Amino acid sequence: MGLAAAKDQCDRLVAEAHQALAAFGVKADMLRATADFVARRDR
């Protein structure tokens, strides 16, 4: 594999990792918001 191809593959992997982390972050924010809502409702 050439250097350019290796760099392209690396860039693709980094982009995919960023997308996965962003999606996970959104889910975590939704869970936190739901937990906050439930905690406030129970008071």
Q: Which residues contact 6 (CB under 8 A, 6 or more apart)?
A: none
What's the CA gap between 19 and 1, in Å, rounded? 26
What's the CA gap between 10 and 5, in Å, rounded? 9
pLDDT in tens, 1-43: 799 999 999 999 999 999 999 999 999 999 999 999 999 998 7
Structure tokens at 5: 């191809």
| Residue written as token pair 């995919």 | 16
Domain boundaries, the chain: 19-43
Q: The pTM is what? A: 0.58
